[in-house]
Structure 1
Amino acid sequence: MNGAAVQQQSTYKQLTLITPTAAMHASVHGGRAKCLQRLIRLEMPVPVTVALSFDAVQQIARGQSVDMDALMAPFGPQPLLSVRPSSQDPDWGGPSAILNIGMNDARHDAMCETMGEWAASAMYLRFVQAYAIHVARLDPDEFYLPDVPDRLSLKAMLDTYEAETDEQFPQDPAVQLTQVLRSMARAWDGTTARLLRQAKGAPQDAGLGLVVQAMALGVGQGECGSGVIQYVDSTTGVPQITGRYMSQSQGREALGAAEGAIYLTRDPRGPSLEDLCPDAFAELVALRDICRRFLREEMQVEFTIENGNLHILDAVRVQRSSRASVRIAVALAEDEMIPREDAVLRVEPAALSELLHRQIDPLAKRDLIVRGIAASPGAATGRIVLTANEAQASAARGEACVLVRRETTPEDIRGMHAAQAVLTMRGGVTSHAAVIGRGLGVPCVVGASDLSIDFKKRQVIAPNGRRFAAGDTITVDGTTGQILAGEPPMLEAALDDAFQTLLQWADEFRDIGVRANADTPADAQTARNFAAEGIGLCRTEHMFFEGERLRVMREMIFAEGGDDRRAVLDRLLPMQRADFRALFEIMQGRNVCVRLFDPPLHEFLPSDKAGLRDLAGQMDVPLHEATARVEALSEYNPMLGMRGVRLGIAIPEIYDMQARAIFEAIAAVIKSGTEITVEIMIPLVSAMREVELVKARVDGVANAVMAETRTEFEYRLGVMVETPRAALRAQDIAEHAAFLSFGTNDLTQMTYGLSRDDAGRFMSAYVQQGVYAEDPFHTLDIEGVGELIALGAERGRAGRKDVILSICGEHGGSRSAIAFCRTHGFDYVSCSPFRVPVARLTAAQLALQDRVVS
């Protein structure tokens, strides 16, 4: 617990009777205790309750005791009590509640006279069972509730307890309560509980409070029972009364009962609480408006009816799906229960990501094959295919497929387009498959290294020996990284009015631009649909990997000289021009940043024997000649070899063709009345002279196109900063660049000296052992890579005051990167189209949080 929390803790009592004016705080007594106080302030029928602070529970866990006389005094003589956990955030959980503390032989005899043997025995049996399992830690199989609760079955359970512990069941209520408190306090510090909390985002030193409450008996004379009610559907967020009620029951028994539980509202399928106790039901219905107005939340209420009278035992925030969380937040704001700012802050950005894609039904059974790295969210089912060609053939037949590869290459892009999902054995979150998957919105799991492929038998082999043949059905869950056998039920994507409304509000509050990385007109349309402010990165090489274009590109690679290359590239020119024109028309009125050709040429050539034979046929050359040409282009480390600006300077015809295609497309759309702002980005720069050389040729092409088309247009030329040297020399480079866009994928790779495709093999071990706090390809390394970016930004501004700064790597949509960019005054971030809504919401939340701090 930090110093501020300790100081605050010291101002509160360890034991606090919950009253409307009692000094209580969620960070001291937990969320449940604070919520109960709010219910009491609203004059709801809440039984007498005492809260134990985090500090008191810590003392109990260490073997110290609290003042039991003071604790039990508010409940009067011979009380029956319950104890429930009260962590600061209800989602962090806690030990199971224990009811009917205070039941003993004498109390049982007395209650048999007043409420009957069945009811009294049922209460005592429930307490003995809970005490034996959760306090004495005995075998649950030995303590099952009998079908008929009576004195005989009670004696049998008490005898079992004595046989298992060599002592009689405790009869003193104070002793019972002391042991229950100690057990729950120690359970919170157990290894399992600690790991569960950490998985839910709780800090290691998260505290636990406990609430001791007088029992409202759900068994006895007259109409008695218990139930749970909520007022919205947990999956959709639509207003709807749901829950169950069960006569002669306690706690949350109604929810788990196979028999005996009834509906709350009138229902043709069976009896209901509305029919049985109309007055109590009306009181429960009225609670919704009270909770929304005063608690400003949709609540799930646990209640007990005792002889027809309603008691409210607890109220917790309704558990909700991502879809429901958005709808609930927007509805509360539209009904003026909360401000719009609060609605924007309440929705986790990850929830939006789930809404953009199909997801596996949370209630579905999962037949897990293996777990990999979650690389592109969403879930999809299909038949296994092992090559891009098989994926295309499957799509042509209208059959859903999952493309399974050791790792993908640019040649696989056509297959990735055709597949419903992608699974690879190698790679990390910035590998080829991951980047393309996110761009396409295709669910993708990478780095599933426990799988292997037997291409001869056409089988995928799982670590436990299970084999899946090509054609078998599997499901890829790109949100969790799980690969499942079969086809579990799915929930469809949900981009409803509430989704759009929330993002419109977010745009009102954010203070940094959000663009999309989009490589094709289809990507651009997706970006436009998600209200991206433009395209921050168009990777033009992705336009070359399909059909005729790939064949022409290979002809250019095989060309002998500049004239031959130009002749081949002249055939690519109209294709590129058409792509750019479509892109500009879709993004009219917005900025489009086009990155010139980046990858090494070998990526356009096959490496397997079958591919080489096809290549030789296409190029009309002998197989040995095709093989020799491919080998001549191979590099020891192609990612650090002849690519990006180096290729543009060594083979300038490529950039000349691309620049002409861009400018001719600009001229065409201007003549048609479309407004567009185009930026041309030079990749992999490390020296100012590289920029000078490329800029001179690009400017020359621009002037030629303006003269030929008699059209005036403007454009900006800038640099993709993805080498450490470019960041260090940003002042010189910015003199010739209107913008600097930091490509964090390659910059992280080069700063760390790590291959982003291979790092997945050891990254989990590094993170587990604290070498890195997080995978630097997943979360921007603020201390290392971030310092280099900050330095580059500072020096870039020194070279050009009005230089535009951005991040366009895969980190661009992450919270840490957006926060970093806001801190350093960047103009925008750019991310995959399907991450744009997440980035818009995240940027708004960061801006709103800054308002609160300031």
Structure 2
Amino acid sequence: MSSNPSKFCYFFGIDPKSGQNLTEGNRNMKDLLGGKGANLSEMCNLGVPVPPGFTISTEANVLFNKHNNYASNIELEGETKVTKDQLPQQIIDEVNQYLTKLEQVAAKKFGSLQQEGDRVLLVSVRSGAAASMPGMMDTILNLGLCDDNLQLMISNFGGNERFVWDSYRNLIQMFGDVVMGVKYEKFEENIQKQKKKRGISLDIDLTLEEIKEIVQDHKETIREMTGEEFPQDTRQQMFKAIIAVFQSWSNKRAIHYRRIHNIRGLKGTAVNIQTMVFGNIDKRSCSGVSFSRNPSTGENKFYGEYLTQAQGEDVVSGVRTPEKIENLSIEFPQCYNELINISHKLEKHYKDIQDMEFTIEMNQLYMLQCRNGKKSAAAALQIYCDMLDENLITEQESILKIDASQLDQLLHKYLTDEEIQKHEPLARGLAASPGVAVGRIAFTSEQAIEMAKERKIRGDVILVRTETSPEDLAGMQMSQGFFTTNGGITSHAAVVARQNGKCCVSGCSALIVNEHEKTCTINGIDFKEGDIITISGSTGLVFNGALKMSEPTVTGGNFGRIMEIEKKYRTMGVYANADTTSDAKRALEFGAEGIGLCRTEHMFFEKTRIMDMRRMICATCDEKRQDAITKLKQYQKQDFIGLFNVMGDRKVTIRLLDPPLHEFLPHEEHEIEELANLLNEDIHIIKRRIEELTEKNPMLGHRGCRLGITLPKITQMQAEAIFEAAIESESEIVHVEIMIPLISSIQELRHQKEIIDRIAQRIISSSSSLSNKVKYRVGCMIETPRAALLADEIASISDFFSVGSNDLTQMTFGFSRDDAEKFLKDYIEMELTQNDPFQILDNEGVGQLIKMAVQKGRSVKPELTVGLCGEHGGEMNSVQFLHTCGLTYVSCSPFRIPIARIAACQQSILSAQKK
């Protein structure tokens, strides 16, 4: 269904009188209706019981932004109140029109001036962007209640005063927070004041009179904090709420969430106006969240939780710990069976695990939302393997459904049974998100951010809270695990943890947090900020101190099965960056097809070796320099033999020395003195040599091929080590590719290639019986813009290209990777750049240079091998872009190989489908 620019509202629901489906949208309209609106429409189209309503489109959000002269991607400053912004009249008119339609379908009336016998229409006002952003934007429930219709509402519900007044309380505090900018804590103080009077702890124990007092206190709080009254005009409530939801697209937490999850290009949020159904009326009512399968493990078992006499926000907020969904079959057996059937129908329709919100109002089931569920990586593999066996999806669909960026979750460390048995657990909570975290306790988001800055020195951070909220997102991103007193397996903490591959233990009643004092007790034992605990989100266990974690293995099982499938469809190679035999072995475990980058300089940083490297650099005569070079050659040769033995006949790409020489030299006085003694030289001579080699801008200085050109003995030594190692290795065939770094002209490449070819001919021909053992090629790195511009000329003598995207990014932007962190954060926050270009490839600039290099190189050599060996080779979005550039392979660290394989396979499938 195509969008109509003159139309902003879309109805969903079934007319109960005629049975006619009045729904105007469907699942394919997410860009226009947002994910929530599109799925509400789709459920109506499937005959699922959904309270009727209408969606205000994302295009209305765009019009609203233009009308109020601010861009949809600009963060609103301070405590913005909607009173200064206005809805365009066209949207107001359409909302009024659709409210009338909703009144007719629901057989209820919206507003304060109603007659005896009328039924009061209350609505929820919810956000819903095209991409799911759970908890990031705003929601208001029970909208439409006011002083004048309270008694009629009580009459509608058989005189249930407590329920109606509690709904009014909920509306005032949500509206006051979301729309009028009053901090939620102010309202919580009013509630706690009443609880303390009688010494009660649960909201459900408040009496009618206490709730009435809270309502008056809430109104007074709004008056004191804003100078305004809580609006009694229900249309004013409606339009202010719509404005607040539109504005929530640009709140800090929503912007931060989109940045973290790389959500770009969306217009804004839609607004869903939906007839209220009430899970908090009485014991015949409840609200819950369920999944068609277990989102933590992937087990094909209905999963979820609910709260009796509660609204949906109570379940996900974590304020109360809910009941397991299995108990629903006892309390609400008919509704439970209906819910199971709906779950099966939706899963079969969407071909994915379903995350569903529901409310039971006086034994009548209503579905409020469905979406593809967020799950851990292990659960995703289990689910899609099961769905393959159930013939619900195809092999290609199973690959396309996997979030490649999540696969590093499978590489998390874990606790062995033996390790667990050695330690007495402090407590057990709910196993809300798998994995293990060992870290220092932080009690606030701000603490977690500060403590994480010291992570390299003092270890990881665990955020410990009574419950988390969307306001904690920045601190949660910097923590490795979450531990909460309240909340269940669908609480905010659990959802964020599963989505981001972090560990979470929730609902632990033995945890008591004093956030003001920055302390907590776990089963009676005191802890303070910075104390170390271990939490296991796989078991729910919590331990004092740091337990020993074990390394994961990801071969076999569901992972192995999916990786066997991806081999069938992937057309781009995935190699590893590996400098040692242990790196190479791990890379093969993860499915690397070869080594795309061996950084030879990494072989020199060990204590003994770096001393010989320093001797070579600082030697004052040829004899001393040659002695050091001979030793360096032996180190390299033995390392290369190890790599060739591990890799067998797979390609091994070796980059010759790249960094400037001063990086190997000492700076501490005692180290300089040690080097002088070793060389039997005056310390002042050594200091002068170090000073001579220090560069003002080493990134652009005497490094890469320039070292081999000015010091050809380095290139000669490395080439001899490579070819002698190839001859002496155990492998029957050695495929070695020698890569010249930092080329910017054909002359530089020719100079280095002639040295390598000459040495290759001498060493290989000297062993006639093994002359066919070594297959070698000499290529270059494309990491300067000039090399990309002259790629056709360079390709005439280069056997292959390898894009060095790290340096190419530095030189294209003019950013130093080491120093860019000083300003890149500001660039990203101000949206001067969408991402850190050192993490996600800059397609518009650097990407165009890569495309140019591929096209120019292959215009000379159509079968030219072109790879990439920067950090971007293991990042999902970058890999998919590089696939479209026609790269032969990408190379990344061993632990990123699964991500690269799936991302490359997904793009291969999509490209084949387009053809």
**The TM-score by the shorter chain falls in which range?**
0.7 to 0.9
| 1:148–1:610 Cα change, 3 Å | same
Task: Work out whether residues 227 and 252 of structure 1, in 8 Å CA contact, stay in contact via their aligned partners in 2.
Answer: no
Q: Which amino acid aligns with 2:132?
A: P
In the TM superposition, what whole-angstrom CA distance separates every residue of 1:59-82 from its partner, at most 9, and x where no partner exists?
A: 783362422322311111414433
Q: Secondary structure at the match of 1:30?
A: helix
Shift of 1:20: 4.9
Q: Which residue of 2 aligns with 1:344?
A: 399
Aligned to 1:274: 329
- Corresponding residue for 1:692? 750
Equivalent position amino acid for 1:548 in 2: T
* Alignment match, 2:908: 847
Q: CA deviation at 1:473?
A: 8.3
In the alignment, residue 610 of structure 2 is paired with which amino acid? L
Give ranges in structure 1 of 5+ residues lacking alignment: 266-271, 385-399, 402-420, 422-442, 444-471, 476-485
Aligned counterpart for 1:703 among listed residues 761, 767, 770: 761
Pairwise CA distance, 1:807: 2.3
Return the offset for 1:738: 0.8
Of 584-593 and 800-809, deviating more is 800-809
Residue 73, structure 1, aligned to residue 104, structure 2: yes
Aligned pair in 2 of structure 1 residues 719, 98: CA closer, same or farther (>3 Å)? same
Aligned: 1:719 with 2:776: no
1:59-208 to 2 correspondences below 5 Å: 61-62=87-88, 64-65=92-93, 66-67=96-97, 68-77=99-108, 78-87=119-128, 88-91=130-133, 93-99=136-142, 101=144, 104-110=149-155, 114=158, 116-127=160-171, 129-130=173-174, 134=178, 140-141=187-188, 144=191, 152-153=209-210, 155-157=212-214, 159-160=216-217, 176=234, 178-190=235-247, 193-199=250-256, 200=258, 201=263, 203=265, 205-208=267-270
Once the two structures are superposed, the pairs formed by residues 454-469 of structure 1 within 5 Å of their partners are none
What whole-Å deviation, never above 9, does each CA across 1:371-422 have from its counterpart, x for those lacking one? 69999xxx977658xxxxxxxxxxxxxxx99xxxxxxxxxxxxxxxxxxx9x
Unaligned runs of 5+ in 2: 15-19, 65-85, 109-118, 195-202, 414-434, 462-479, 481-501, 503-529, 534-544
SS at match of 2:866: strand
Deviations 1:584-615 (A, max 9, x none): 12222321111122233332220121211222
Cα shift at 1:852: 5.0
1:601 to 649, 652, 661: 661
Decide which of 739, 743, 746 is 1:681's aligned counterpart. 739
**Secondary structure at the residue paired with 1:190?**
helix
Distance 1:95 1:642, change over 3 A: closer
One of 604, 607, 627 as aligned partner of 1:547? 607
SS in 1 for 2:585: helix
- CA distance in structure 2 between the partners assigned to 1:167 and 1:748 by the alignment: 53
Aligned residues: 741
Aligned-partner Cα distance in 2 for 1:215–1:362? 43
Q: Distance in 1 between matches of 2:171 and 2:809?
A: 58
**2:58–2:269 Cα contact (<8 Å) kept:** yes
Match for 1:263 among 303, 318, 324?
324
**1:326, distance to aligned residue in structure 2 (A):** 4.4
Amino acid at match of 1:95: D
Report the alpha carbon displacement of residue 307 of structure 1 after superposing the two structures with TM: 4.2
Secondary structure (helix, strand or coil) at the match of 1:631 reads: helix
Determine whether 1:46 maps to 2:91.
Answer: no
Distance 1:708 1:41, change over 3 A: same
Q: Check 1:211–1:316 CA distance in 2 against 1; reply closer, same or farther (3 A cut).
A: farther
**1:320-347 C-alpha deviation (Å, 9 max, x unpaired):** 3444444444443443323333332333
Aligned to 1:830: 891
Do the aligned partners of 1:635 and 1:641 also contact (CA within 8 Å) in 2? yes
TM superposition shift of 1:660: 1.9
2:808 aligns to what?
747
Q: In the alignment, what sits opposite 1:28?
A: 32
User: How big is each residue's C-alpha offset from its partner over 1:558-591, in whole Å with a ceiling of 9 and x where there is no partner?
Assistant: 4445555344333333332221121112222321
Partner-residue secondary structure (3-state), 1:85: strand
CA deviation digits over 1:791-836, x for unaligned, max 9? 4444433444443222223333345643554344332222233222
1:787-798 paired onto structure 2 within 5 Å: 787-798=848-859
**Structure-2 change in CA distance of 1:730 and 1:329 (3 Å):** same
1:532 match: 592
1:572 aligns with 2:632: yes
Contact 1:744 1:811 in 2 (8 A): yes
Structure 1 residues 660 and 289: CA distance shift in structure 2, 3 A: same
TM-score by length of 1: 0.76
Cα pair 2:866 2:888 within 8 Å, conserved? yes
For residues 642-681 of structure 1, the aligned pairs below 5 Å read: 642-669=702-729, 672-681=730-739
Match of 2:577 in 1: 517
Q: Secondary structure at the match of 1:337?
A: coil
- Output the amino acid matched with 1:39: M
Q: Residues 391-402 of structure 1: matches in 2 within 5 Å? A: none
Aligned-residue offset at 1:203: 4.2
Indicate if the aligned counterparts of 2:408 and 2:895 stay in contact, CA closer than 8 A.
yes
Give, in angstroms, the shift of residue 98 of structure 1. 0.7
Q: Structure 2-normalised TM-score? A: 0.71
Task: Map 1:391-540; keep pairs closer than 5 Å.
Answer: 495=554, 497-540=557-600
Residue 409 of structure 1 corresponds to which residue in structure 2? Answer: none
Q: Percent identity?
A: 31
CA distance 1:520–1:366, shift in 2 (3 Å): farther
Do the aligned partners of residues 374 and 355 (structure 1) sit closer, same or farther apart at CA in structure 2, a change above 3 Å counting?
farther
Residue identity opposite 2:883 in structure 1: R
1:631 has 2:686 as partner: no
2:365 maps to amino acid: L
Aligned residue number for residue 411 of structure 2: 356
Aligned residue for 1:23, secondary structure, equals: coil
Contact residue 576 and residue 892 of structure 2 kept, 8 A = yes
2: CA distance, partners of 1:848 / 1:526: 27
- Cross-structure match for 2:281: 219
Residues 150 and 603 of structure 1: CA distance in aligned 2, closer, same or farther (over 3 Å): closer
Q: Could you say what the CA RMSD is over the residues aligned between the two structures, in angstroms?
A: 4.2
Compared with structure 1, are the counterparts of its residues 15 and 820 closer, same or farther at alpha carbon in structure 2 (3 Å cutoff)? closer
Letter of the 1:292 counterpart = E
Q: Judge conservation of contact 1:86–1:209 (CA < 8 Å) in 2.
A: yes
Q: 8 Å contact 2:616–2:624 — kept in the other structure? A: yes
Query: Which residue pairs with 2:879 in the alignment?
Result: 818
Amino acid in the other structure paired with 1:347:
I
1:297 to 320, 344, 352: 352
Contact kept in structure 1, 2:789 and 2:849, CA below 8 Å:
yes
Tell me the amino acid that sits aligned with residue 708 of structure 1: S
Structure 1 pair 595/141, CA: closer, same or farther in 2 (3 Å)? closer
Deviation at 1:44, TM superposition (A): 3.6
Whether contact under 8 Å (2:412, 2:436) holds in the other structure is no
Cα 1:647–1:314 shift into 2, 3 Å: closer
CA contact (8 A) 2:353 2:372 kept: yes
**Corresponding residue to 2:271 among 190, 201, 209:** 209
The separation in 1 between residues aligned to 2:366 and 2:166, in whole angstroms, is: 20
Q: CA contact under 8 A between 2:172 and 2:219: conserved in structure 1?
A: no
Amino acid in structure 1 at the alignment position of 2:287: S
Q: Is the 8 A contact 1:218 1:304 kept in 2?
A: no
Following TM superposition, by how much is the alpha carbon of 1:308 offset from its aligned partner in structure 2, in angstroms?
Answer: 3.8
How far residue 97 of structure 1 moved from its aligned partner, in angstroms, is 3.7
Whichever residue aligns with residue 718 of structure 1, its letter is G
Report the Cα distance in structure 1 between the residues aligned to 2:775 and 2:189, rounded to whole angstroms. Answer: 82
